Structure formats: structure tokens, C-alpha cells
Amino acid sequence: MYHLAVDIGASSGRHIVGWLEDGVMKYEEVYRFYNGLDNIDGSLCWNTERLFSEIINGMKKCAEVGKIPSTMAIDTWGVDFVLLDKDGKIVGNSVGYRDSRTEGYIEKAFETMSKRALYDETGLGTNTYNTLFQLLSLKDNHPEQLEAACDFLMIPDYFVYLLTGNKFNEYTNATTTELIDVHTNTWSKKVLDTYGIKKSLFRELSMPGTKAGKLKSEIKEKVGYDLDVVLAASHDTASAVMAIPSNGDNVMYISSGTWSLMGIESMTPQLADICMEHSFTNEGGYNYRYTVLKNIMGLWMIQSVKKELNDKYSFSELCDMAAENADFPSIVDAIDNRFLAPDNMIDEVKAFCKDTNQDVPETVGEIAAVIYNSLAACYRDCANEIEQFTGKKYPAINIIGGGSNAEYLNKVTAKMSGRTVLAGPSEATAIGNLMAQMLSVNKFNDLKDARDCVIKSFGIKTYN
């Protein structure tokens, strides 16, 4: 029996088919496609129509390679959404989280509900791109869109709707909105009422593993087969955390990709002052776990540099050049919003160094070293903050996701943090997506059983 994980990140998407063979998980990438924000009428938007056509193309590819899945699930980034009208059509554009429409809305939101009150209610770190602030901007600038809207769907929920005709609000992605009561794990009546957001837009939350339905007849005809669409932990971070190769109690992780999400898994939310002050967020994980984490800019910074250099160098080459310039002393703040969507990342890194009276990097190797060293420094500081608010020691950091392949970053993280780095699996998000599907058809007894399979199936590299 094959299962299909459709894993769409901010810069690319892929279709990964997985299966169990003699108790070991196997997978194969069958299709990959580009993703990115388009400038439409001055706004940075997702082309959801093109993305859905790529989902269909990848499903067709499964049939071509002779690996027809019996289930599939979709995960994406968090916070972004679509609004649907009474006919199920998108209202307005699918504006992305890097767009500037939310500027000033954090301060505006705090005029009505204090930072502390909002954190106590939602457990979410105050990030300018959170869905709440996107909706407040929409309310001020395009109230007609909210008036016409009948349904609110996160991006993966929308694709599930296009596949099956059925509408869901999946729990893990919903928890990235700053609209969920962190104590009851339901939509927050207090937040919705306070900010005048109509409650009729939202559906009862559904958990990862829920069967969403079969393919619509026209989709079935296009791809040439039918299957069960299952809800993954559709926030890609929640899926990645499922695939941490450990069943230990004190596990610190970095889900490393376009973003670096660094934190711990907890059965209770962490709402202490230190958590709020350092912008730790309590997002939802599998089976009502909390992924208590901090958002760090991550490999977006080096991805942007690579693109600005016209892809002249591979990521491996950029890592090697960073290693050759390891002693370059300057460090930038890898949480600062100036790196969220700059016109030019190289110029922004240089400007930060100049503004803070540090040596300004000039060569590609120096730029790469500043970025990787800055990420490692941020990881070190974040690890120390986690130990402070948990009162526990974490001797190791599990780095999962594509960033686990960044050899230089792994080495410098181990060195700066004074902790062992355990790197892998690199396809953690897709593996977690597959785990949710396999759990839904009882191939694993529970999450512990599934993680035992991950431990057995994938090699982990150690950096001391």
C-alpha cells in the first residue's frame, strides 16, 4: 500500500510516495515543482490555481511510475488562508505572509487587547505576519471581501476542498492564526468578538488523521485513480516534529528549511513571561501536543543570496565558502523583520553590519559565513532561553528537514551551542505527513510506535 505526501513549502513543492517494507519506512520523490510569491497589483500573492494544477500533475506522475497511492495528504506553511464566497470561489487574492499589508497592525491590535492578554488567550508569539493581523488589515482595507466571505480555509484546507468538495479547518494549521484558544484548542470567542471577526467563517477543528473524503469525479478522471484524502498535520512544522527520531522526554529540535523553527514538544502550553518576551509560540502538534517554538529566519536568507547571485553557486558550495571564512566576526539578528522580505538580502546583511558598527562582508564567502554564523548564534541563544523557562538541560539539538544537510551550519551550531547536533531526517515534513496517513489506517499503534519506525528507518548524523 502506497501513501502520497504532498509537501508544499514557500519555495518548492514535492510529491513523495511512501510505504512500509519489512517494518521500515521507504519513500521516493516522484514530482517536484516551483513555488513563490507573485506580485499582483502591488501585493505578494500565492498562485493557488497554479499550485493546485501542480498537485494534479504530481498525482498523475504517481500513476506513470506505477506507485498509485491509496491515501494522500497535503501540508504547507502556516498563517496564510483563502476566503470563499457562497459559491465556493476565492474572494480577493491569496495574499502571502511576506506582504507588507500587516505593517502597524500589531500595535493597533494591542490598543484593544494587551499583548499579555492576547498571549494568555492564544499562546502565540507576536509576529507581524500572523493571520489575525492579516484579517485586521483586510477588515480596514477590503471590508467587502470579509462581507462576501462564507468560509475561511487555510491553504492546505483549500486544496483538500478542491480535491474532495469537503471543507475542513485542520487543527495544527489553525493554531498558527492567533485565533485559537490555547487552553481549549478551539476558535477563541474572545479574540473573534474583540476584533469583530465573524464566527460563521470558521468550522469545528479537525485533527490530523481525519479522513476528508474521496476524490471528486472530475479529479478522479484527470489522475486516473481514486484514493482517500486524509488530513495531515497540515502545518509543515507540525508534520516535521512528528518525525523527530526520538521518543525521549527532553528533546530540543530545529525544523530547518526556509524557516528555522526551534523548540520543544510539550503536553501543556508554556505562557511564562520569558516565553512571551522572547516570542515563543505555542502551536498545535499531533494529538493536541504543543510545539513550543521560536520562528527564526532560517535558510530563507541563504536561499535569497543564492537567487541574487543568479544561482551561480550550489548550497553545498556556499557552505564550503562559509567554512573558508568561518572567522569573519560579524553577526546579524536572524529574527529581525528587516530580513523577512528585503529588496536585496545581500545589501540588507551588509547594511545591518554597517548599522551595528561591525565589519561589513564583501565577498560571497563572507556573506555566507555571516548568515550561517548568525543562524547558529540565534540557535544558541534560543537553546539557552528554552533551558531557562523549562528548568531542564538539553544536551542535544535534533535538526530535521532540508537544513539538516547544511554541514557547515551543523558544525558551527554544535560549536557555538556547546551541544551535540543530531542531523536528520532531511525529509522530516514529508515523513511526518506519511506517518499521519499510516496512523489513520492503523499501520502504527500510536505516535511512539511511528517514531520507533522513523528511528529504525533513517540514518542520523552526529556532530559533537
Residues that are catalytic = 236
Among 216, 272, 257, smallest CA distance to 88 is for 216
Helices 315-324 and 407-417 pack at an angle, to 10 degrees, of 40
Output the CA angle 408-451-251, nearest 5 degrees.
55
Among 212, 162, 211, smallest CA distance to 54 is for 162
Distances (CA, A) of 40 to 44, 95, 260, 376: 6, 9, 28, 35
Number of residues assigned to the chain: 464
In angstroms, the CA 260 to CA 54 distance is 26
Which residues does residue 421 pair with via DSSP β-bridges, in sequence order?
397, 463
In angstroms, the CA 87 to CA 31 distance is 32
Q: Report the DSSP pairing between strands 2-8 and 69-75.
A: parallel
Determine if the peptide bond prior to 425 is cis (ω within 30°).
yes
What stretch of H or E contains 428?
helix 428-440
CB contact at 8 A, 406 and 299: yes
Among 6, 147, 135, 143, smallest CA distance to 81 is for 135
Among 397, 401, 403, smallest CA distance to 422 is for 397
DSSP sequence for 397-408: EEEESGGGG-HH
Among 153, 111, 150, 155, smallest CA distance to 133 is for 111
Residues 6+ apart with CB under 8 A from 114: none
If one counts every other C-beta atom within 10 angstroms of the C-beta of residue 42, the result is 9
In angstroms, the CA 131 to CA 79 distance is 5
Helix, coil or strand: residue 384:
helix
Q: Report the DSSP pairing between strands 252-256 and 81-84.
A: unpaired
Distances (CA, A) of 439 to 64, 178, 455, 460: 27, 28, 16, 23
